[in-house]
Amino acid sequence: MTSQQSHRKDEHVSLAEKFHQPAENSSFNQVRILHQSLPELALSDVDATTKFAGKQVAYPVLIEAMTGGSEQTGKLNAQIAQLAATVHLPMAVGSQSVALKQPELAETFAVVRDYNQDGLVIANIGAGHNVADAQAAVEMISADALQVHINAAQEVIMPEGDREFYWLDQLAAIVAKLNLPVIVKEVGFGMTAKTVQKLMAIGVKYVDLSGRGGTSFARIENFRRPAKEMAYLDDWGLTTPESLLEMRKLSSRPVIVASGGIKTPLDAVKALALGADMAGMAGEVLHHLITTDYAATVEWLRHWLQDFKRLMLLTGSSTVKDLRKQSMVFSPELESFARQRFIS
Ligand code: FNR
């Protein structure tokens, strides 16, 4: 298991942790939800359940695609699967492209079903793969849905990355042929309304905006370059709040997952208030698994989810849909973005 690709998977994990950002730096700090002094609600009235990808889930929170493809990351996938099953959250595995090329690595992904037999588990491949690859990735882990990641910025910075990005035709075929929800996903660079319009035009019904503000593949891949000369791209992309504001330009919307920089339950509440259907979290979960241990991570996530419910209470939200009704104020920078992008 010491192929170049396996090594890259290990490096991504260690570099994501190396560049892990504290919650104080979150782009969600550009959004304030206004306090209402009269919630007129009890915690027992709060229902955080929601429907996602055809299944009922306990919270509108997804443990995002991260890893698999090496011995170390196979162990991480086992822990993530156990974690998701324990707290009843949907989860995704990292890109399975490596296991399509090297079938001996499939077990580092399939292991998630050993620990999470009944939960909502999402497969993941890169755009550019064909329908057969998409089906193979789904079968490899008996997935309930498929994420296809679009990561042009990452590939361009990556020394060994792709240099051809004709993706829409293959994406359209996958969406048309697969009998499962297909989520087209960024990897931390965000999406404009125009990108999402193009995706919807080919039949895409689920997007994961994955904006800037958390794990930065610009920083990770630049660090992996022999000469680190693309550091000027560190701030490339739209933040997650900016991407969510972009969605206001659409007359009809897909189901929206917001990931990228979600660390606290308040970040997730803000994402849902800005119009997301689900909040996704990657780097923060990894940070807890790496810097503490499995048992402490379960405790952290349990508290996180309890606090999410308390914030629903505080914002007078008895259902996830109610979170959309919040009064919000934006920082001057975010407000300027909205104005320049003609978002009302
Ligand atoms: C990722 N991410 C990712 N996404 C994807 O679609 N396929 C993948 O293989 C990976 N690999 C990966 C590895 C590691 C170590 C991390 C931390 C992340 C991206 C991830 O799903 C998410 O979009 C971004 O990390 C932004 O969310 P956070 O980390 O800011 O919560």
**Domain with 308 in it: what CATH number?**
3.20.20.70
Q: Is the CB of 288 under 6 A from ligand 1?
A: no
> Is there a domain that residue 254 lies in?
yes
pTM: 0.98
| pLDDT bracket for residue 120 (50, 70, 90) | very high
pLDDT, tens digit (0-9, with 9 covering 90-100), for 150-186: 999 999 999 889 999 999 999 999 999 999 999 999 9
State both tokens at 72.
């170390």
Q: Looking at the domain assignment, is residue 139 inside a domain?
A: yes
Would the annotation count 194 as a binding residue? no
- Establish if 170 belongs to a structural domain: yes
ipTM reported for the complex, 2 dp: 0.99
pLDDT(93) > 90: yes
In a domain, 272, yes or no: yes
Whole domain around residue 218: which residue ranges? 27-341
Cα 16 to middle of ligand 1, angstroms: 9
Q: Is 228 annotated as a binding residue?
A: no
* Residue nearest atom 6 of ligand 1, based on CA coordinates: 149
| Position 283 pLDDT exceeds 60 | yes
In a domain, 21, yes or no: no
Above 60 in pLDDT, residue 1? no
Residue 320 lies in a domain: yes
Q: Between the CA atoms of 158, 133, 237 and 26, what dihedral angle is there, to the nearest 10 degrees?
A: -100
Domain presence at residue 183: yes
Number of domains in the chain: 1
16 is a domain residue: no
**CB-based burial, 90-121: b 16+ in 10 Å, e otherwise:** bbbbbbbbbbbeeeebbbbbbbbbebbeebbb
Ligand 1 pocket member 16 (CB < 6 A):
yes
Ligand 1 lined by 281 (C-beta under 6 Å):
yes
State in Å: Cα 64 to ligand 1 middle: 7
Judge whether 324 and 272 are in contact, CB under 8 Å: yes
Give me the residues paired with residue 208 across strands: 185, 257
Instruction: Give residue 2's pLDDT.
Output: 60
**Residue with token string 């208030």:** 273
Identify residue 89 by its one-letter amino acid code.
L
Q: Is 83 helix (H, G, I), strand (E, B) or coil?
A: helix
- Give the span between the Cα atoms of 153 and 210, in whole angstroms: 13
The residue-averaged pLDDT of 231-252 equals: 97
pLDDT value at position 214? 96
